Structure 1
Amino acid sequence: MHTIWKGSISFGLVNIPIKLHSATEDKDIKLRSLHKECHSPIKYEKVCPVCEVEIKNEDIVRAYEYAKGKFVVLEDEDLESLKKKNEDKAVEIIDFVKMQEIDPIYYDRSYYMSPGEGGAKAYSLLRKALQESEKVGLAKIIIRSKEQLAVIRVYENTLVMETIHYPDEVRASGDVPNVPMEEKVTKKELDTAILLIDQLTTEFEAEKYTDDYRNALLDLIESKRTGKEVVTPTEKEKKSNVTDLMAALQASIDRTKPVKPAAKKRTTKAKTKKEA
């Protein structure tokens, strides 16, 4: 597994060198956008709307928009210094709580934790202590320039770090529109609903749940591929150097042709003879 973060976790005087690895992966099928006429992939270019020119990465700076149209520019050096200052610190478990006290709405991403060099014993100690106490650890960590609140727990004999949202990142449920207040429900209706829930209750087996849409889309793509329903981009027509050279030569000749003097009008000559 690819290591995305390397550092240490500590609780009390116990320090554990660890590595983080992504525990999940995005298996969404990514579709490309093509030009309908020639089936060429569409480019998405970074263009300045004022200068009307394409912008390179080295010409882009980051900024915070504190008011409409007003920005504070942040230099890369400032951000790197701030990031370095916090990343150098060992991640400390600040609290231990019961997992049931954390609502699932707070959870974000999962990372497997493996022990670093010399950290196997301390890793095993924390794992065993969490299992015996039936608690999870709360810690703070900076990942990809963002400070995260995280839960450290045991999953199938492996320590897992779950990043969780801060309270101010979870929107208030009271802001959800059209949620009804408590309605009067008859005992018969409630008993019937509970009976239905009981009939559909089973043990959770993750393996039996599949992404039906993704599987159907993969089948569709494969059937089109094997049925030769494929398209290829139309190659951009290359200009011939010979044609360009001939055009340039002809243009040069046309420019250097001597200008013929304008012919004299007959009426002028006739008028001269008559006057003579």
Structure 2
Amino acid sequence: MRSIWKGAITFGLVNVPVKVYSATEDHDVPLHQVHDKDGGRIRYQRRCEIDGEIVDYEHIVKAYDDGDKTVVITNEDLKSLPVEKSREIDVVEFVPSDQIDPIRYDKSYYLEPDSKSAKAYVLLRRTLEESERTAIVKFALRQKTRLAALRVMDDVLLLQTLLWDDEVREAGFPSLKGDVEISDRELKMSASLVASFESDFEPSKFSDDYQAQLRQLIDAKLEQGESLDTAATFGEGDEDEDGGEVLDLMEALKRSVEQSRAKKKKGA
């Protein structure tokens, strides 16, 4: 892995130099656009509306239009902002870890010690572990001020950027207003269904079926050409055993519990 940024975690007079690495990567099969008639690659051009010329990236800058006037913001303008010059990951506060709702998490980054001695890094890591707290930090990265949660994952400090408060929408759905009656029997049956699915989360058990099937489709087309028989490649889909039958809630719960138990017995 290559670090994408260097800085230092600061809280009080403590300074922890770190290197920042992207913790995740995209595994989607890369696709591009072509003309369906002849397969020619579709490319986008950056054409100026005034002179009609195609513009290279090195001559493109940002601008803001308020409706009446347009102001151009150059890369030098952006780099001159005080917050952009900062290389500090500033600890604002330490909060109980369970107070951060997962909906607020955005991107994840690993932090590696960037000094001869890892003592300050390990001290911060141990402090977070033993206090069961998460550090809320602010820093600037790629022309944006970021709010983030700094926590421990295994033996590494993990930085997870957070959405700002006004970026999380409220879920005020009219359909959820008013009382909905749930019987004790329905609740008990639903709890039984949950119990039948109980397990420890192991990410390695799961895979991206769509990407696997897309890769299978691509390999088959490379081998067989456009005369591909998709039914032969993927097999005929199993029809729904219930034949589209509409079930009431209790019956659906009952059958779901029975199916889950049968699957567990079969896999045992």
* Aligned counterpart, 1:171: 169
**Change over 3 Å in CA distance of 1:70–1:201 after alignment to 2:** farther
Max radius of gyration: which structure?
1
Structure 2 residue 94 is matched with structure 1 residue 100: no
Q: Which residue of 2 aligns with 1:6?
A: 6
Q: Are 1:195 and 2:187 an aligned pair?
A: no
Identity of aligned residues (%): 39
- Equivalent-residue separation in structure 2 for 1:127 and 1:59 (angstroms): 44
Is there any run of 5+ residues in structure 1 with no aligned partner, and where? 231-276
User: In 2, distance between residues paired with 1:229 and 1:157?
Assistant: 50
Q: 1: CA distance between counterparts of 2:211 and 2:179?
A: 38
The residue aligned with 1:112 is 110
Distance 1:28 1:180 in 2: 39
Q: How many residues align?
A: 227
> Is the contact between residue 84 and residue 141 of structure 2 (CA under 8 Å) also seen in structure 1?
no
1:147 match: 145
RMSD: 2.1
Where does 1:218-237 land on structure 2 (aligned, <5 Å)? Answer: 218-227=215-224
What is aligned with 1:186? 183
Contact 1:20 1:113 in 2 (8 A): yes
For 2:208 and 2:4, locate their aligned partners in 1 and report how far apart those are by CA, in whole Å: 27
What TM-score comes out, normalization by structure 1 length? Answer: 0.76
Alignment of 1:1-276 (within 5 A): 1-67=1-67, 70-82=69-81, 85-174=83-172, 176=173, 178-227=175-224
- C-alpha separation between the residues in 2 aligned to 1:20 and 1:76? 23
In 1, distance between residues paired with 2:184 and 2:49? Answer: 63
Instruction: Output the CA distance in 2 between the equivalents of 1:177 and 1:4.
Output: 44
Q: 1:62 and 1:179, CA in 2 relative to 1: closer, same or farther beyond 3 A? A: farther
SS in 1 for 2:25: coil
* Cα distance in 2 for residues equivalent to 1:124 and 1:47: 52
Are the equivalent residues in 1 in contact too, given 2:87–2:139 (CA < 8 A)? no
* Structure 2: stretches of 5+ with no match in the other structure: 228-268
